[in-house]
Amino acid sequence: MIVTELAKTGVFIPEIGLGTWEYHAGPLPLRKGLDAGALFIDTAESYGSESVVGKAVRGLRDRVFLATKVSPQNFRPADLSRSVEASLKRLGTDFVDLLQLHEPNSAIPIDETMGAVVKLITAGKVKFVGVSNFSVTQLYAAQKALGRFPIVSNQVRYNIIDRTIETELLPYCRVNHVTVIAYCPLARGLSRIRDCDPTGAIDELSRETGKSPAQIVINWCVCQAGVVAIPKGNSVEHILDNCGASDWRLSQEQLALLNERVQHRRRNRFDQLVRQWVPGPLQSLAIQTLNAMPPGIRRRFR
């Protein structure tokens, strides 16, 4: 597994970690991923997966880079402290390597939140601080509020068909040495990515390289400077396939072919607000409806 430096911390993490959003397979697949070199697990208090992650890392804690997230409703200092203590208990550890603010919360001053985070750092319960789903403006404000400690990461949606962050956020993170942790590097599944690959470029490269389509897509992601990825898998087979996206690189010619032939989009502000505020059940219904449409129509909405 290729490792890369987290921001400018001097700490190196695997370029492919283990995502656990909507994870329900138990500790064994995660343990197999750790054994394969993906010694970076990302979870969150809202995922319901912290306990199983704790079981997966048991006996390996000193080798695993462990990341979790605090939900925005818990950003007030007393709530944040209780939230982190509960996460540590579920994870079976006395510290986390990376504590992330799960998404912005404009109702709570960021100075209050970061003041509480600083106390956790000085108490040794948190090593590094990151954010998730923060815009450039929000990231700048968070860094200013955190003061002498750096924001080391921003976890955001990024994949071969959704390149929204390339306009502003990714360049900003690169200049300011903030590692981008890409969630959903396989979008919501390869079927969605194939909708945007009408000429079959991914399968073509799969045959050429001997790598699986999922590995091609994830490798495209980690080929981007300053980016690591946390694909999810709910079986040993899928997790090991994801891990196989490391230790090799698509060539510049192969990357150019994907960039030219795989259709992608950059979501505008309206798209992002819809994704943020539309209730989950309505989003799921929209996804089900979209999946029932012909590929040519689906492609317009990916």
The Cβ-side half-sphere exposure at 293, using a 13 Å CA radius, reads 15
**Residue 294 lies inside a defined structural domain of this protein:** no
Measuring CA to CA, how many Å separate 242 from each of 29, 176, 204, 213, 221? 12, 29, 19, 10, 12
Handedness of CA 21, 5, 215, 259 (dihedral sign): positive
Handedness of CA 13, 16, 21, 24 (dihedral sign): negative
Q: What is the pLDDT of residues 203-225, one digit of tens each?
A: 999 999 999 999 999 999 999 99
**Residue 111 lies inside a defined structural domain of this protein:** yes
**Residue 244 in tokens:** 């196989």
Q: What is the pLDDT of residues 132-171, one digit of tens each?
A: 999 999 999 999 999 999 999 999 999 999 999 999 999 9
Q: What is the pLDDT of residues 15-67, one digit of tens each?
A: 999 999 999 999 999 999 999 999 999 999 999 999 999 999 999 999 999 99
**Residue 80 lies inside a defined structural domain of this protein:** yes
Q: Contact 182/154 with Cβ under 8 angstroms?
A: no
**Residue 251 lies inside a defined structural domain of this protein:** yes
pLDDT bucket at 278, cuts 50 / 70 / 90: low
Active-site entry in 23, 47, 158, 183: 47
Beta strands in 107-259 (DSSP E): 126-132, 151-157, 179-183, 227-229
- To the query of whether residue 47 is one of the catalytic residues in this protein, the response is yes
**Residue 35 lies inside a defined structural domain of this protein:** yes
**Domain range for 63:** 3-266
Q: How many Cβ atoms are within 10 Å of 182's Cβ, its own excluded?
A: 25
As for how many domains the chain has, the answer is 1
pTM comes to 0.90
> What CATH number is associated with residue 248?
3.20.20.100
**Residue 298 lies inside a defined structural domain of this protein:** no
**Residue 253 lies inside a defined structural domain of this protein:** yes
Rounded Cα gap, residues 131 and 258, in angstroms: 29
